[in-house]
C-alpha cells in the first residue's frame, strides 16, 4: 500500500473536505437511483453504459469495479427491466455487447445537479476549469484503481480469489 501521508501544501481540513465531497456524490447517486427506481449499482452501471454507448460485459465490470459474476447479474436485472439489451458485436460474433435502451428521463433526474454545478463552474476562470476537469479525469481513474484494490483485498481476506 502507498504511504497515506498527504502531500505537502494541502490546506487544513483537506481530508474532511474531500470526504464531504465524496459523501455528497454518494448521496446524490442514491437519490438519483431512487428517482429512477434502481439500486445504486444498477444506476451507476447504466451511467457508464450511457457514456460509453455499449460495452462488453468484461469492460462494464472493469469500469464499475464489479466482479464478472456480479456484472452478469446486474446486466440480467437491467435487461429484465428494459434498460439494456445484449447485442452481437458486429466485428466479433462470438462477443456480446451490452447497450443502453433509453427508457429513463435521465435529464430530469440529474438536471438539478447539472444546474447547480453549472452555476458553480461559472465562478471559475477557463484555466481553473481546465485544472478541475483534469482532476475529474485523473480522480476517476485513481478511484477505479482503488476500487479494484479494495475488492482484491476483500476477496483475499475472505478466501475468494476472483
Taking only the tens place, the pLDDT of each residue in 117-130 is 999 999 999 999 99
Residue 21 maps to a domain: no
How many angstroms separate the CA atoms of 43 and 61, rounded? 14
CB neighbour class for 75 (10 Å; exposed up to 12, middle 13-18, buried from 19): buried
Residue 41 maps to a domain: yes
Residue 63: its H or E element = helix 57-64
pLDDT value at position 4?
A: 66
> Three-state SS for 92?
strand
Residue 124 maps to a domain: no
Residue 162 maps to a domain: no
The tens digit of pLDDT for each residue in 141-159 reads: 998 888 888 888 877 776 6
The boundaries of the domain holding residue 76 are: 31-104
Which of the residues in the chain have pLDDT under 70? Answer: 1-4, 158-162
Residue 118 maps to a domain: no
Domain count, the chain: 1
Residue 87 maps to a domain: yes
Indicate the pTM of the whole model. 0.81
Joined grid coordinates for residue 60: 462494464
CA distances to 4, 99, 149 from 75, rounded to whole Å, are 36, 10, 23
CA distances to 23, 107, 111, 121, 125 from 115, rounded to whole Å, are 19, 11, 6, 10, 18
Residue 36 maps to a domain: yes
pLDDT value at position 8?
A: 84
Question: CATH number, domain at 83?
Answer: 1.10.10.10
Beta bridge partners of 55: 98
Residue 35 maps to a domain: yes
Q: For the chain, give the mean pLDDT.
A: 90
CB neighbour class for 59 (10 Å; exposed up to 12, middle 13-18, buried from 19): middle
Amino acid at each position: 500500500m502507498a504511504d497515506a501521508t498527504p502531500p505537502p501544501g494541502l490546506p487544513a481540513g483537506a481530508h474532511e473536505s474531500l470526504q464531504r465531497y465524496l459523501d455528497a456524490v454518494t448521496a446524490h447517486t442514491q437519490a438519483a437511483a431512487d428517482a429512477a427506481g434502481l439500486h445504486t449499482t444498477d444506476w451507476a452501471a447504466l451511467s457508464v453504459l450511457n457514456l460509453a454507448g455499449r460495452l462488453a460485459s468484461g469492460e462494464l465490470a472493469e469500469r464499475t469495479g464489479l466482479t464478472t459474476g456480479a456484472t452478469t447479474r446486474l446486466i440480467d436485472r437491467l435487461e429484465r427491466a428494459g434498460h439494456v439489451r445484449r447485442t452481437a458485436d458486429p466485428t466479433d460474433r462470438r462477443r456480446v455487447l451490452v447497450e443502453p435502451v433509453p427508457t429513463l428521463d435521465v435529464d430530469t433526474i440529474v438536471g438539478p445537479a447539472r444546474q447547480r454545478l453549472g452555476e458553480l463552474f461559472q465562478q471559475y476562470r477557463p484555466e481553473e476549469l481546465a485544472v478541475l476537469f483534469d482532476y475529474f479525469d485523473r480522480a476517476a481513474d485513481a478511484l477505479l484503481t482503488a476500487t479494484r484494490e479494495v475488492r482484491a483485498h476483500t476477496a483475499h481476506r475472505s478466501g475468494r480469489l476472483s
